[in-house]
Amino acid sequence: MSSILIHLLDKLIQPFFQCGDEAGLSYLCTMSKQGKKNIRQLSLSELEQYFEDLGEKKFRTKQVYEWLWQKHAHSFDAMTNLSKELRAKLAEHFSLPALTVDATQYSSDGTVKSRFKTHEGHLVEGVLIPTDERKTACVSSQIGCSLSCKFCATGYMDRKRNLEFDEIYDEVVLINQQCERVYDKKLSNIVFMGMGEPLLNYKNLLRAIEKITSPDGLGMSPRRITVSTAGVAKMIRQLGDDKVKFKLALSLHAANDKKRNEIMPINETNNLKALIDALNYFYKQTGNEITFEYILFQGFNDSLKDADELIKIYRQVPADLVNIIEYNPIDMAKFRKPEEKVVEEFMQYLERNRVNARLRRSRGKDIDAACGQLANKETTV
């Protein structure tokens, strides 16, 4: 055999048997060393390289990509415009793990809570919150949480792991499908206010939002997405550096460090001064809307003195809004909701001092779907 022919044969089989760091890395080799790779973790260019290695035509990449991100296929067999041989080859080389709906509850106020199951059996919750004006998905970013906020049911759970970006995407897709089925409308808004701290799952958060807002994905406007954080100053600054386009909400809940330390241990390493500086930096870099979230607890943060401290914080940050939230009881905590008169006085005091404040009534309390209540309790379909 001539050396030229040997060289040509080597060039042909090299992608299948030789691994390297270059763009032409063979995924067949990667699979043999690491087991099946989640196909949704591949970028478009990596998927193109895979089909090129197989000798398939370029349009196959677009077909498969559409099945993964627009048609929301959860198996290779569902990709019906591919040949059986190609579907079998994809199944041989790749996995396609996806969230599934494990249980669903319907509230008397129209709220829908879903418990999702990951491919290895972990559980995580998400909520569809309907109003006349909008249909909002409240999604989770972690399985459990590590921050231990004293008023939040999720804070009493262990953090099992971060959700992958494609799992976060699945949450939104599944809630959107529920919205279309129950209300005959698509989602209008997304809030990252479910289980976990989004900024402690930073890369997956941003990659999920990128796919949610991409024309190749769900095509939603980033201006309709709000990410809520308990206050990770370093990552708030990183959001500014990354010039994100979505809105940011800070779960404040106490306007001095002493009280905030009591209910939110993260404040001990991310105090109010650090958070104020980070929020101002975020706004300077992006100009995006900032909201404060403030749950009222009876006898703890509901006095007019507390309102004064909240006003001082509000005036140090270009915040658009303060959401005053009624407390939703959980079994693990002894906090109580203030009397309605106290809530009204607190709101009126903020308004007199020219604070743009809104009282947010909780939805889905009868199914433990309201703010701070998500904890993977037993549910019924």
Which residue in 138, 149, 152, 371 is the catalytic one?
371
Nearest to 75, CA basis, from 58, 57, 59, 88: 88
In the chain, the largest separation of any two C-alpha atoms, in whole Å, equals 93
SS3 category, 227: strand
Which residue in 92, 125, 133, 167 is the catalytic one?
125
First to last CA, the chain: 67
- The set of residues, in sequence order, having a beta carbon less than 8 Å from that of 105 and lying 6+ positions away, is 112, 113, 114, 367, 369, 379, 380
Here the tokens at position 8 are 């040509």
Handedness of CA 161, 246, 315, 300 (dihedral sign): negative
Q: Is 371 marked active-site?
A: yes
| Edge-to-edge strands, sheet with 112-117 | 100-106, 112-117, 123-130, 135-138, 189-192, 225-229, 247-251, 290-296, 321-326, 357-360
How buried is 67 (Cβ within 10 angstroms: 0-12 exposed, 13-18 middle, 19+ buried)?
Answer: buried
- Asked whether 167 and 38 are in contact (CB, 8 A), the reply is no
- Asked whether 198 and 221 are in contact (CB, 8 A), the reply is no
Residues annotated as catalytic are: 125, 371
